[in-house]
Amino acid sequence: MAITADDLIKLVRGFNPKTDAALIGKAFAYGERMHEGQFRHSGEPYFTHPVAVAAILAKQQLDDATIITALLHDTIEDTPASYGEVEKLFGHEVAELVDGVTKLTNLQLNSTETKQAENFRKLFMAMSKDLRVILVKLSDRLHNMRTIKAMRPEKQAQKARETMDIFAPLAGRMGMQWMREELEDLAFRVLNSEARASIIRRFITLQKETGDVIQRITTDMRKELKRADVEAEVLGRAKKPYSIWRKMEEKEQSFSRLSDIYGFRVITGSEEDCYRALGAIHRRWRAVPGRFKDYISQPKTNGYRSIHTTVSGRDGKRVEVQIRTRQMHDVAETGVAAHWSYRDGVRSKNPFAVDPAKWIAQLTEQFDGEDDHESFLEAVKLEMYTDKVFCFTPKGEVIKLPRGATPIDFAYAIHTRIGSACVGAKIDGLRVPLWTRVKNGQSVEIITAQGQTPQATWLDIATTGKAKTAIRRSLREVDRGRFIKLGRELARSAFEQVGKNATEKVLETAARHLRLKNRDHLLEQLGSAELTGRDVVDAVYPDLSAAPGDVVDRKRAVIGLEPGQSFDRASCCDPLPGERIVGITFRGKGVTIHAIDCNRLSVYEEQPERWLDLRWHDGSHPAVYGVTLDMTIGNDRGVLGRICTLIGEAEANIADLNFLERKPDFFRLLVRAELRDAAQLHALMTTLEAERDVASISRHRDPGQSAYPQNEAEAAP
């Protein structure tokens, strides 16, 4: 049902009786008139979208200017309305906000890496001007994701990926956890609908088997808190499908093996009651070591405060518990947006709400020194995607760092001069290596020495954008030419020892496989002894030093089959020893082996009884497993011969050649090679990639092919 102007005003009056209802009504009428004749992909009048965005912001109890901006956020871009007209009718504040949202809308955040980084910088500049701009933009994206089904499939995928990569983490970084979870779930529904549906089905099955676990644990917690004389509200819920999927991917565990899929919140009346509630819960249930965080005594930079603990509940199941006061809970729900919240017509005076100006200043401070867009993007993502740890200086000052930070990061967080002069560190009084990961509550002392300069290896140790920026800046001042010249000589010598030439393309290939920026960066690290000649040679020709092992009989190559059960490799994915695999059973035809990431496995999603958990034997396999390579090579005399020779030297056998294109200057062909395992495939592709006449090479997989092309979904055993 469409939201009317009266509906919206009533919603705002619910938390702000002193709202300027006339101005909101005027903005509603103006926006409706400007968007007249425009329609969304779903066929609805376009103005239903700005109204829905305004309603989302009203439910967050935001100020009038933000809600009016939502009603007008597309007028300057998509209608005859102008900045001057909006400013004349609704004031300078609203006009600036609408203009800021318009500029954000025009940023192509899903473009190439360089362009994305450049636009990320513009996004943060807009945020620093007025954070309400991004609040409107996030609500705009939320409504678009809620109604995304009306878009074309390719547009859905683009918007969902952008939401997952940028807007959901940004909402989380701003403390708006509810919005982050909903954005992630809506994007997950588009990007991997089958996985999401599978998790929901498994939840339903689990609930049928175990009953309402949430209700039972909630009741138990209420009883324990009442026994401890703690007045508190207890809320329980199952975690969102995407959160569960991410945990399954990170831990490489199945749904049935995940333990902490339920979360509970205890909301108390005072900070003292938070700690009393924690004691009551720990007395009743066993706390899981290493899963306790006290964000009340050490709040996050976005104002988030809460106690987190994980306990073993009924049947040994783990559950996460968050304990906070009502004021802390309000900030946990709205994050930085709590600064603009209204109650009873006045700005909310929540003591835990962070001043947005200070927050955005902290967030952008370390990015200002980055000279290039790529470094800026790296620094931004480090800050957006990581949690925090809190450490102390010897004087007791608190230093906030991303999880995984080292003493190098700690030193640079104090001052760039201290970081650059760092030669060692002590944690809780004990000397530790600079690559040690600091933990919550530790005391860190930095040892400095006059004349010390940052080392190139520190780039691999540091995790914060501020530290990496300072280290890069210092390293750029060193004479790189000397190292590059020495590195070139070392590379020439190393490749000559194995009968190869250190050509420019070989060095570029080595740099790419060692994840270095370019050839010069590789030579610089080689000349400065951060890499050895052997490291560089192995990056391109890893098989030159490989030692043969015992050969595994092909009939016993797969572990997990029943005695006498035969298997075939699926020709859609050509799985190789060394790759993760799964088996699908067929009536009277044995088992077909698929790579774990094979797209064709979706055919059997609803037939779990046919799946077998298999793995390859660990020994050395014979070179009998066919894989197809898609290659584009130069059309010159002797090129194909050299390619065949290289494949032979890699101890692989060519089973078939199929020319797809013949052009005056290049050939495109499919080469079927018989290999031992995935490691040999990687080595062969690296060797061929380094050949100067090979323009491109990739592994060819055909999801349309299968070992059993008949109706596979029905060929159950």
Continuous segment of H or E residues that includes residue 613: strand 611-616
User: 49-84 burial string, b = 16+ CB within 10 Å, else e?
Assistant: bbbbbbbbbbebbbbbbbbbbbbbbbbbeebebeee
| Cα→Cα distances 162→109, 123, 175, 404, 437, Å | 7, 14, 19, 26, 31
- Determine contact, residues 625/566, Cβ cutoff 8 Å: no
- Determine contact, residues 41/111, Cβ cutoff 8 Å: no
| Cα→Cα distances 637→48, 643, 657, 669, Å | 66, 12, 18, 16
- Determine contact, residues 405/389, Cβ cutoff 8 Å: yes
Distance of CA 499 to the CA centre of its chain: 42
- Determine contact, residues 688/643, Cβ cutoff 8 Å: yes
User: 707, 542, 679: which is closest to 618 by C-alpha?
Assistant: 679
Collect all residues with Cβ–Cβ distance below 8 Å to 199 and sequence separation of at least 6: 241, 244, 245, 255
The rounded distance, in Å, linking the Cα atoms of 380 and 598 is 34
- Determine contact, residues 367/379, Cβ cutoff 8 Å: yes
32, burial (CB in 10 Å: exposed 0-12, middle 13-18, buried 19+): middle
The rounded distance, in Å, linking the Cα atoms of 265 and 474 is 47
The rounded distance, in Å, linking the Cα atoms of 581 and 570 is 11
Q: What is the DSSP string of 557-577?
A: -EESPPTT--EEE-TTT---T
Continuous segment of H or E residues that includes residue 246: helix 241-251
The rounded distance, in Å, linking the Cα atoms of 255 and 440 is 30
The rounded distance, in Å, linking the Cα atoms of 86 and 307 is 45
- Token reading at 94: 């609203």
Give the 3-state secondary structure of residue 257: helix
| Cα→Cα distances 456→230, 311, 453, 480, Å | 55, 43, 10, 12
The rounded distance, in Å, linking the Cα atoms of 93 and 82 is 15
**Is the backbone of residue 344 left (phi > 0), alpha (psi -120 to 50) or beta?**
left
**Is the backbone of residue 565 left (phi > 0), alpha (psi -120 to 50) or beta?**
beta
User: 4, 5, 23, 21: which is closest to 13 by C-alpha?
Assistant: 21
Q: What is the DSSP string of 658-709?
A: EEEEE-SSEEEEEEEEEES-HHHHHHHHHHHHHSTTEEEEEEE--TT--SS-
Give the 3-state secondary structure of residue 186: helix
- Token reading at 218: 């909630």
The residue assigned the tokens 């000559």 is 496
Residue 450 half-sphere exposure toward CB, CA atoms < 13 A: 0
The rounded distance, in Å, linking the Cα atoms of 654 and 675 is 9
The rounded distance, in Å, linking the Cα atoms of 449 and 206 is 60
Q: Which residues are catalytic?
A: 77-78
- Determine contact, residues 713/603, Cβ cutoff 8 Å: yes
